[in-house]
Structure 1
Amino acid sequence: MMKQLILSIIFANFMFASTLRIDDKIGNFSLTDQFDKIHTISSNVSTIIVTFQKETLMMVNEYLSSKSENFLEEHHAIFINNISSSPTIITKMFTLPKLRDYKYTILLIYDESNTKFEKQNNKITTYSLENGFIKNINFISSVDELERVLK
């Protein structure tokens, strides 16, 4: 049992060790959502949206709140929010309850060592994929740019 735990920790660290680049295959990985439900991301995803700051999260929310509840699924997209920089008590008391009010699924990154996704300050990172391979990475800073990515 202990051996399996150690191997799974090593595998998880290896899986998140390298940053995704153009032409990389994303592979399958799992994250929990704001309701602690585990989601496995696979090659059927065509767009990954990642935010790292509250401001960029709010931009994505502004856009998605005007869409249907199934908008992300219909567009084969997932939304990931990295909350690793938030103190645990703040996350549990304020962040998660707020995220649970949103009508769409937000996958969460809790681990600071997860550097799988590229980051630029005050930008939303989007990955465009084909058959599980990254074809384009964009750093966007407005709702209009996000809308163009999700057409």
Structure 2
Amino acid sequence: MKKTLLSIFMFSTLLFANSFKVGENIGTFSLPNQFDEKKSINSDVKLILVSFEKDTGKEVNTFLASKPKEFLALHNAVFIANISGMPSIITKLFAMPKMREYKHSILLIYDEEDDRFVKEDEKTTIYKLENGVIKSISYVTADELEKVFE
């Protein structure tokens, strides 16, 4: 039993070895948005929303589409969609044209090796930061998105 628990712990540690953790400083990094413009994420960002699935991405986009264009900027927030699992032909022909219709910025992760963000199935990951340091990581459903910004 102890060996099994130790194996599970070691596997989960390796699985999330490169992921951001509470208490860590995210530093500064850049990602392209849906218009292929590089956008920087730095210590000014207070909130990061990350979607890994089509449905959660759609939920966040629907939520943000109901808000003013400046909503993310007013909350020092960014929305990141990890689309690394999407076939490139689908991305080019369908996903990107749809994303370009939104008035809010969607930062994109194309690299499936980019494992800095953790995920939970069917939920959006929320990182709350202060001066670039992660204060909390949580997972929300569409019904809980409004509360994230209160």
Q: TM-score, normalised by structure 1?
A: 0.87
Matched letter for residue 39 of structure 2: H
Which position in structure 1 is the counterpart of 2:73?
A: 73
Which position in structure 1 is the counterpart of 2:8?
A: none
Which position in structure 2 is the counterpart of 1:148?
A: 147
Which position in structure 1 is the counterpart of 2:62?
A: 62
Runs of 5+ consecutive residues of structure 2 not aligned to the other structure? 1-16
Answering whether residue 106 of structure 2 is matched by residue 113 of structure 1, we say no
Runs of 5+ consecutive residues of structure 1 not aligned to the other structure? 1-16
State the Cα distance separating 1:142 from its structure 2 match.
2.2
Distance in 1 (CA, whole Å) between partners of 2:127 and 2:26 is 10
Q: Which has the larger radius of gyration?
A: 2
Which position in structure 1 is the counterpart of 2:24?
A: 24
Q: Secondary structure of 1:22's match?
A: coil
User: Aligned-pair RMSD on alpha carbons?
Assistant: 0.9
State the Cα distance separating 1:120 from its structure 2 match.
0.9
Distance in 1 (CA, whole Å) between partners of 2:88 and 2:79 is 21
Answering whether residue 95 of structure 2 is matched by residue 95 of structure 1, we say yes
Matched letter for residue 104 of structure 1: H
Number of paired residues? 134
State the Cα distance separating 1:127 from its structure 2 match.
0.2
Fraction of identical pairs, as percent: 49
State the Cα distance separating 1:150 from its structure 2 match.
1.2
CA deviations on 1:62-84 (whole Å, 9 max, x unpaired) are 21111000000000000000000
Distance in 2 (CA, whole Å) between partners of 1:56 and 1:75 is 20
Distance in 2 (CA, whole Å) between partners of 1:142 and 1:128 is 17
Q: Secondary structure of 1:95's match?
A: helix
Which position in structure 1 is the counterpart of 2:137?
A: 137
Which position in structure 2 is the counterpart of 1:34?
A: 34
Q: TM-score, normalised by structure 2?
A: 0.87
Distance in 2 (CA, whole Å) between partners of 1:142 and 1:78 is 16
Distance in 2 (CA, whole Å) between partners of 1:128 and 1:22 is 9
Distance in 1 (CA, whole Å) between partners of 2:38 and 2:62 is 25
Question: 4+ residue runs of structure 1 moved beyond 3 angstroms?
Answer: none
